[in-house]
Amino acid sequence: MTKPLTIAAIGFWHVHASDYATAAQEHPGTELVAIWDDDEQRGREAAASYGVEFVADLDELLARPGLDGVTVTTATNQHRDVILRAIAAGKHVFTEKVLAATVADAEELIAAASAARVALVVSLPRLYDGYTQAISRLLDEGALGTLTYSRVRLTHDGWVAGWLPDRFGDPSAALGGAFIDLGCHPVYLTRLFQRAEPLTVSAAFGSITGRAVEDNAVVTETFPGGAIGVLETSVVAAPHAFGIELRGTGGAAIYDGERLLVSGGRYGEGWSELPVPDGVPGAFDQWVDHIHAGTVAEDNLRHALELTRVVEAASRSAATSRVVALG
């Protein structure tokens, strides 16, 4: 039997830190061995909850020859520095989205991982869910004709119900608000469904709570051929909502968070419900596989890079009240 990969969790700033630490602890091919956080109390509490060592010195932890990889869930503004340090130490990296706040930084990280021959994977979980696989098959089959419109909406009540930490509203640490975090999911799903890179990005950011960052956002994208994508996100909308709507020249598909409905073409008039299959192995599983195979997560990293491109353009659009053209 192959010896489990030893993994350290780097940072418990993000709310998903425990998800990836748990994945490292429960995956049959990995073992969680240590935790680091720049907030010592937070880090020690996390380490105690997982029954592993807390290491106060990040460089000392990364220098350990017995450590194979790290999960990165630090503040967003620390991603570039921490990931580069991990790569320089020869450690494989699984990171929370976004990979980086700018395209230049994201490209630097991807190039560094390639040069060091370490596996870099970004958590983009909804790419691998069953509804995404089913919708992708509809598009591959041409069931909707030519796609003309897509809408992906993802919201929750984090700052209404009080469970989303205030640190997510710190512009220096988070580097943005709802869109750079929760809005990432509509971005990469829209890219997948549209099967193209956007030509333009236009963003409207709002702040219901009066924080220095947006707590709700609407972004529109235009695509080659005239298609339009609408991306909506909010952390001040109750209850939680997730939905996908696709319209094409030959039909339409809607996913309401539970059911996948399709209309038009061979499905006829009205709406037919399609089964939602199980998802494919997720990003963490793929990361472990890439480590063992010595391969590059090309599709995942392309999505991550283009995600950063849209996030960067949307921030610029919202700040200037202008449409941003992408090269």
Q: Which residue is listed with tokens 């399609």?
A: 274
Beta pairing, strands 200-206 & 324-325 = antiparallel
What pLDDT does 68 receive? 98
What pLDDT does 73 receive? 98
Low-confidence ranges of the chain (pLDDT < 50): none
What pLDDT does 327 receive? 73
Other CB atoms closer than 10 Å to residue 269's CB: what's the count? 7
**CA-based max dimension of the chain:** 64
What pLDDT does 236 receive? 98
What pLDDT does 2 receive? 77
Q: Which pTM was predicted?
A: 0.97
Residues in the chain: 327
What pLDDT does 272 receive? 96
What pLDDT does 28 receive? 97
Fold of 126-281+310-325: Dihydrodipicolinate Reductase; domain 2 (3.30.360)
Residue 247 contacts by C-beta under 8 Å, 6 or more apart in sequence? 144, 147, 148, 149, 150
Burial 146-180 (b: 16+ CB within 10 A, else e): ebbebbbbbbbbbbbeeebeeebbbeeebbbbbbb
What pLDDT does 31 receive? 98
Q: Where in the chain is the domain with CATH 3.40.50.720?
A: 5-118
What pLDDT does 325 receive? 98
Segment (H or E) for 29: none
pLDDT in tens, 167-207: 999 999 999 999 999 999 999 999 999 999 999 999 999 99
* 3-class state of residue 51 by DSSP: coil
Superfamily for domain range 5-118 = NAD(P)-binding Rossmann-like Domain (3.40.50.720)
What pLDDT does 152 receive? 98
> What strands lie across the sheet with 200-206, from one edge to the other?
272-274, 260-263, 252-255, 241-248, 147-155, 228-234, 216-222, 200-206, 324-325
Residue 101 contacts by C-beta under 8 Å, 6 or more apart in sequence? 76, 77, 79, 175, 176, 180, 308, 311, 312
What pLDDT does 209 receive? 96
Residue 325, beta-bridge partner list: 200
Q: Where in the chain is the domain with CATH 3.30.360.10?
A: 126-281+310-325
